[in-house]
C-alpha cells in the first residue's frame, strides 16, 4: 500500500514509517521544522487548516492510507497557546478528512488517554471523555471529523518507548528509566497514577489489521495489561536487567497533575490487552538489532 505519514520525524511517525516499510509498504512523509536525513521521500507540510488541503493535493503521491501523526504535543505549553493548539490538533482534521474522502483513502488519527479526566481509569471506547487540559480537549475535537468519515479511524494510546529514537525526541518513560539507571539515580514512579503504555510496534500491529480490513471498529484503545506505574517500571527493570532503579513516587495535586489524568489506564471493548512483558522483549531485541 501507499502510506502517507504526517509528522514522519516525530516519535510515533518515525517508528511507524519503519514498521510499514519493513512490511513492504511504500512510505512518504511530511515534516514541519525538524528535518532528518533519511531514505524516505519527505515534503514540508504545515498543519494549519486554511492551506492544508491544498498542500496535501500538491504532494506528488496519492496515498491509499494516511497515518495522521503530526500534532502539537507539548501538554504544558498548550495551556498558553490555545489558538495554535486547536488549529493544529483539532481544526486540521477537517482538511485532512476532506482530502482523504476525495481520494478514498483510509485515515488513521492518533489520539490519547488525555481525553479522559482520570478520576476512575479503565476507560473503554464507550467511556465519556472529559479532558482536563487544552491538549486533551484539542485531541478530542480532532477525533470527531475523523470518526464522521466512513474510512476514518481513531486510535487512543499512551506511549511506553519505541525501537527507534531520533536525537530531538523527548525521553519516553522507558528511556527515562534506562537513563536513571545509567546515571546511578533512582526513578520515582507514581504509585497513585495508572497508565497502560504501548510501543509503536503495538500500534502498528493494530494499524496492520485496519489496513487488511480485519479490524473495522472506528475508535480503538490500544493498551497494555499492567496499569500501576511502579509495576510497569519494575517490568522494564526486569526485561532490561536493571537492578533497583525504580522507587515509590507520589503524584500530588500541582500544575503538572491539573492538566493530566491521574488514573489513566485504558481498556478496550474490541482489542485484547497487549502483554507489556512481550512488548518490552520485542523492543529490546529491536534496539539491539538497530545498534548492531
Ligand X SMILES: NC(=O)c1ccc[n+]([C@@H]2O[C@H](COP(=O)([O-])OP(=O)(O)OC[C@H]3O[C@@H](n4cnc5c(N)ncnc54)[C@H](OP(=O)(O)O)[C@@H]3O)[C@@H](O)[C@H]2O)c1
Residues designated catalytic: 135
Least gap, CB of 113 to ligand X (angstroms): 7
In whole angstroms, how far apart are CA 75 and each of 81, 158, 167, 222? Answer: 10, 13, 20, 21
Least gap, CB of 123 to ligand X (angstroms): 13
φ/ψ (deg, to 5) at 221: -105, 115
Residue 194 touches ligand X, criterion: CB under 6 A: no
Least gap, CB of 259 to ligand X (angstroms): 13
Q: What angle do CA 43, 69, 42 make, to 5 degrees?
A: 15
Residue 86 touches ligand X, criterion: CB under 6 A: no
Q: 3, 4, 5, 12: which one contacts ligand X (CB under 6 A)?
A: 12
Q: Which residue is nearest to ligand X (CB)?
A: 10
Residue 220 and residue 153: Cα distance in Å, rounded?
A: 8
The distance of Cα 117 from the centroid of its chain, to the nearest Å, equals 18
**Nearest of 152, 163, 235 to residue 12 by alpha carbon:** 163
Q: 24, 33, 212, 214: which one contacts ligand X (CB under 6 A)?
A: 33
| Residue span 104-143 as binding mask against ligand X, x where in contact by CB under 6 A, dash where not | ------x-x--------------------------x----
Three-class SS state of 67:
strand
Q: Are 153 and 109 in contact (CB under 8 A)?
A: yes
* H-helix or E-strand spanning residue 280: helix 276-291
Stretch of 56-64, 156-164, 180-188, 275-283 lying at the interface with ligand X (CB under 6 A): 156-164
Residue 246 and residue 188: Cα distance in Å, rounded?
A: 6
Q: 221: which 3 cell numbers?
A: 484503545
Stretch of 9-17, 93-101, 115-123, 212-220 lying at the interface with ligand X (CB under 6 A): 9-17
Q: 25, 46, 130, 164: which one contacts ligand X (CB under 6 A)?
A: 46
Residue 185 and residue 198: Cα distance in Å, rounded?
A: 25
Q: Which residues is 219 bridged to in the sheet? A: 154
Q: Which is nearer to ligand X, 17 or 178 (CB)?
A: 17
Q: Which is nearer to ligand X, 105 or 222 (CB)?
A: 222
Three-class SS state of 107:
strand
Stretch of 4-12, 59-67, 236-244, 257-265 lying at the interface with ligand X (CB under 6 A): 4-12
Stretch of 63-71, 116-124, 188-196, 269-277 lying at the interface with ligand X (CB under 6 A): 63-71
Residue 70 touches ligand X, criterion: CB under 6 A: yes
Binding site for ligand X (CB under 6 A): 7, 9-13, 31-34, 46-47, 69-73, 88, 110, 112, 139, 157-159, 169
Amino acid at each position: 500500500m501507499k502510506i502517507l505519514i504526517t509528522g514522519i520525524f516525530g516519535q510515533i511517525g518515525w517508528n511507524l514509517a519503519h514498521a510499514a516499510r519493513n512490511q513492504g509498504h511504500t512510505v512518504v512523509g511530511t515534516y514541519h521544522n525538524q528535518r532528518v536525513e533519511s531514505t524516505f521521500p519527505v515534503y514540508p507540510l504545515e498543519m494549519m487548516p486554511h492551506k492544508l488541503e491544498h498542500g496535501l493535493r500538491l504532494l506528488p503521491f496519492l496515498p491509499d492510507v494516511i497515518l495522521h501523526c503530526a500534532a502539537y504535543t507539548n501538554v504544558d505549553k498548550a495551556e498558553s497557546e490555545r489558538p495554535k493548539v486547536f488549529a493544529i490538533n483539532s481544526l486540521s482534521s477537517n482538511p485532512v478528512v476532506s482530502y482523504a474522502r476525495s481520494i478514498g483513502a483510509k485515515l488513521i488519527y492518533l489520539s490519547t488517554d488525555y481525553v479522559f479526566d482520570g478520576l476512575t481509569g479503565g476507560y473503554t471506547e464507550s467511556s465519556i471523555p472529559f479532558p482536563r487540559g487544552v491538549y486533551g480537549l484539542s485531541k478530542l475535537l480532532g477525533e470527531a471529523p475523523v470518526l464522521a468519515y466512513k474510512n476514518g479511524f481513531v486510535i487512543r494510546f499512551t506511549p511506553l518507548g519505541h525501537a527507534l529514537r531520533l536525537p530531538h525526541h523527548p525521553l519516553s518513560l522507558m528511556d527515562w528509566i534506562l537513563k536513571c539507571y545509567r546515571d546511578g539515580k533512582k526513578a520515582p514512579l507514581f504509585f497513585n497514577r495508572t497508565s497502560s503504555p504501548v510501543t509503536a510496534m503495538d500500534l502498528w500491529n493494530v494499524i496492520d489489521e485496519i489496513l487488511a480490513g480485519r479490524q473495522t471498529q472506528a475508535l480503538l484503545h490500544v493498551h497494555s495489561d499492567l496499569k500501576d506505574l511502579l509495576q510497569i517500571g519494575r517490568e522494564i527493570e526486569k526485561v532490561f536487567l536493571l537492578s533497583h532503579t525504580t522507587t515509590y513516587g507520589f503524584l500530588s495535586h500541582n500544575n503538572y497533575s491539573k492538566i493530566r489524568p491521574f488514573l489513566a489506564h485504558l481498556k478496550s471493548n474490541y482489542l485484547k490487552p497487549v502483554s507489556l512483558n512481550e512488548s518490552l522483549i520485542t523492543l529490546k531485541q529491536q534496539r539491539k538489532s538497530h545498534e548492531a
